[in-house]
Structures are given as structure tokens and as C-alpha cells.
Amino acid sequence: MKFGYTIIYVESVEQTLEFYRAAFGFEIRFLHESKDYGELDTGATVLAFASHELGELNLNGRYIKGGSETPPLGFELAFVTEEVQAAYERALSAGAQPMKAPEAKPWGQLVGYVRAIDGTVVELCSPVNG
């Protein structure tokens, strides 16, 4: 078994893809003609988004709809970069909500947090040099 992809259910797949492209620099890999499903080119593991309508269909409505106006759900996406401060500022410029400015951690990593337009918590961090 291998970890293939993460799917986050959102209000607008197209707007979410555009936000992640602008905020974090990920290219859009695929957007279905229905605009109910799309993927970003993030490397080995796919980050995908699906509409809440598709979530209703797939999960019979048995999930909590995340959004920018609701408390964050209990997970985060972590994007690794050598330029954490610049990535943090780029995300804010693209419409992300600030959660915690980048700070040095005791283990040597620089870490900051933003909230994406879909409500997802995004960690921006430097590589762990161990």
C-alpha cells in the first residue's frame, strides 16, 4: 500500500485551485469539466479538491464541511520550502488568513501557519535538517 492522494472537500474547486496556485506556486494538474474535482501538481502525492456536492454524493453527507468561516478542522497541510517568510507573505497576498507568523523552533526549523480560502490550515516550514 502507498499513500496516493489527499482530497479536501470545498465550496469551489476552481477557486481553490487558483488560490493554491497563486498562494503556493502549485500548478493545476487537472480540473474535471464538471468543476467538481481537481488536482494540483505537488510532487509524488497528489493534493486534490472536490466539491461539497461530490462529498454529499460520495459520503452520504456524513462529514463536517470545512470553510473559512468555521473553526479549522483537526488537520493541516505542510508545505516545505527554504523561503518560509517569502512563502508566508505570498500566501497572505493571495488571500490566506494569517494564523501564526514564521518562527524558529527549538529543533532548528522555521515554521509559520496560514489558513487557506477553503479553511484548511497550511503549515509553511523549512526542511528538517537532521
Q: Which conformational region is residue 35 in: left (phi greater than 0), alpha (psi within -120 to 50 degrees), or beta?
A: left
Would you kindly state where each structural domain of the chain is located, as residue ranges?
A: 5-125
The predicted structure's pLDDT at residue 61: 81
The CATH superfamily label for domain 5-125 reads 2,3-Dihydroxybiphenyl 1,2-Dioxygenase, domain 1 (3.10.180.10)
* pLDDT tens digit at each of 130 positions of the chain: 988 899 999 999 999 999 999 999 999 999 999 999 999 999 888 999 999 999 999 999 898 888 888 899 999 999 999 999 999 999 999 999 999 999 999 999 999 999 999 999 999 999 987 5
φ, ψ for residue 18, nearest 5 deg: -65, -40
Quick one: which of 26, 41, 17, 25 has its CA closest to 117?
A: 17
The predicted structure's pLDDT at residue 82: 96
The predicted structure's pLDDT at residue 130: 55
- Number of CB atoms found within 10 A of residue 74's CB: 7
Please name the helix (run of DSSP H) or strand (run of DSSP E) that holds residue 16, with its range, or none: helix 13-24
